[in-house]
Chains A and B, each alone.
Chain A
Amino acid sequence: MKIVVCVSHVPDTATKIVVGSDNKTIDANGVTYVLNPYDEIAVEEALKTKEAQGGDVVVVSVGPDNNKESIRKALAMGADSGVLLKDDNYRDSVGVAKALAEEIKAQDAQIVFFGKQSVDYDNSIVGQLTAEMLGYNCVSVAVDLKLDGEKITAEREIEGGREVIETSLPAVITCQKGLNEPRYAALKGIMAAKRKTIEEKDAAVSENSVEILEMKKPAPKEPGKIVGTDSSAVPELVRLLKEEAKVI
């Protein structure tokens, strides 16, 4: 079975983000980019699927040359080969999905894994869009997955609980924390990844339907207020929580 994992290359959540001089992009200077954390879960699930069912895991990413670093990381974890769909410019979610859908079709993949969201733009939508374009079934925010032949039984995280659903291949699964514990890339994997191929091709042409007008940092948080340090402060605290913060 052909298994595809789609990955993005995102700023490490520990780095400090600075908005670039154009006010529309982030300043990439000094920013470390990593494999999107949710995509690590997707890679792990793809590898587990391969281990259980056999098949080939292909890692696909849309973006500039640097995205190869994250593809390599997935290869080091154990994926078989990579495809970089090159595009140096900003692409909205629909554009990314278009490029991915075209490649997935060409690969004839039966199951496709995504992270439930990419921690850069946080749109949480590329997996679903891709499924729609391909006409595949889609399970989003999966926290449990069982594959039995063509049949899929999955659990999704929903507000305040879990939903159990059944569907079938071909399908797109977007992965949520808790689905699995992503493995570390072992030294052997890191070495082997150097010998695996990453195919490069231009991403399918797409017109953006979303334009970024401005990017700005949220206003800094107001410093906290200390009302007092002993029990005499409680009435005032309760009043503030009721009247100002309106939380009780």
Chain B
Amino acid sequence: MLQAMVREFTDAEIRPVAAQIDEEEKIPDGLIKKIGELGLLGTSFPEKYGGGGFGGVGYCLAQEEITRACNSTAAFIGAHQSIGANAIYIGGSEELKMKYLPALCAGEKIAAFALTEAEAGSDAFNLKTEAKLTNGKWILNGEKIWITNAGIADLFSVFARTDKGITGFVVEKDFGGISIGPKEKKMGIKGSVTNTISFDNVEVPEENIIGREGRGFIVAMKTLEAGRLGIGAASLGAAKEMLELSAKYAAQRKQFNQFISNFQAIQFMLAEMSTNIYAMESILYRAAEKYDNGEDISTDAAIVKLFCSEAVTKVTDHALQIHGGMGFSRELPLERYYRDARILRIFEGTTEIQKMIIGKKAVKQKGKWKV
């Protein structure tokens, strides 16, 4: 029922404005409000925190449906829920969760996840932002870049260096000393805002620490594992949409006196798209179930992220090709999906970083297959 509802909502409220979101580089405020009211900003979290109680599987089903229409909207929801709020859920104390999650689940507050810095992209451990405990307050200084939702967020899960290592904090926009940079100009997911954030002697209450001091890097990595499943779901949703649009187009476009769907060349592209979708769907929900069972998914999530994000860029390429010149035109949405898909191989750990995680595990296990 969840999936049917999200589909109904997406078809009626998101799909009609998806091209506008891309062109105007903004998700309408009214749409964000509706998404919050429906509960789509807290799908995965337990009901006691105001969430939907649908776990990782439910979250992925919802993201899949939303990305069928609009990757920008899915990226907004993902940065808010599966990393921004999830860092608090995964790493925070019960008090911290009760303090922030209900408002985040209800969409009264929007979250962002702030890890990346100029010198710390793939090498996130190299981050330089620092926090010092002085008179019962953490004083935060530094700069984060490429932060999804920063421009519209009310609070940030920020990772900074403290005496004991990397530590996570919940930082509210109104704590003072925070400035947000202009919107980045991007190739795709243009409706999802990305900005820099700088912290100039920001005072953070002591209790806003996420978990224990020095445990922040582990929290960030665990959070990103959940995020990577979301990227899998976004990839899958876009791929399914591409298959449907392409098969329909091929069955009505005539060249050489016949429908191009008769050509084996077209059928082979549809076959590769279908096969990728089957594999994506299978590995994604296998991993999502493990996540909901509380199992370790570090390798699984990397495999899902790697495979699905690579697959969707091939699928969008095939879809565009099947549409010929019309695929390249902005009258049809193919080029938007093509541009939007590209980020999926970069954020929340590039393709290469996923391979490092998977490869290291293979070496460590001496190639014995076990996930």
Which residue numbers of A lie inside 8 Å of B, CB to CB?
A: 69, 72-73, 76, 184-188, 190-191, 193
Contact = CB atoms under 8 A, between A and B. Distances in A.
Contacts of A76: 1, 5
A193 B5 CA distance: 13
Contacts, number: 36
B8 interface: yes
Contact of A185 (B5, B43, B53, B54): B5
A76 B43 CA distance: 15
Contacts of B52: 187-188, 190-191
A185 B1 CA distance: 9
Interface stretch (B32-40, B237-245, B254-262, B267-275): B32-40
Contact of A184 (B8, B53, B54): B8
A190 B47 CA distance: 12
B31 to A, nearest CB: 13
Contacts of A193: 1
A191 B37 CA distance: 15
Contacts of A184: 5, 8-9, 38
Nearest to A192: B47
B53 A191 contact: yes
Interface in B322-365: none
B2 interface: yes
B43 A187 contact: yes
Interface string B1-13: 1100100110000
7 contacts: A184-B8, A184-B38, A185-B1, A185-B5, A187-B2, A190-B1, A191-B52
A73 B43 CA distance: 18
Chain B contact-residue range equals 10 to 19
A68 to B, nearest CB: 11
A73 B1 contact: yes
Contacts of B38: 184, 186-187
Contacts of B2: 187, 190
Nearest to B5: A185
A187 to B, nearest CB: 3
Interface in B33-90: 37-40, 42-43, 47, 52-54
Given A185-B1, A187-B40, A187-B42, 18 more contacts: A73-B1, A76-B1, A76-B5, A184-B8, A184-B38, A185-B5, A186-B37, A186-B38, A186-B39, A187-B5, A187-B38, A187-B43, A187-B52, A188-B39, A190-B1, A190-B5, A191-B53, A191-B54
B106 to A, nearest CB: 10
A94 B297 CA distance: 57
A73 to B, nearest CB: 7
A157 B162 CA distance: 70
Nearest to B52: A187
Q: Which of A187, A188, A191 has the most CB of B within 10 A?
A: A187
Contact of B47 (A69, A73, A185, A191): A191
B244 to A, nearest CB: 13
Contact of B54 (A69, A72, A186, A187): A187
Nearest to A184: B9
A205 B1 CA distance: 32
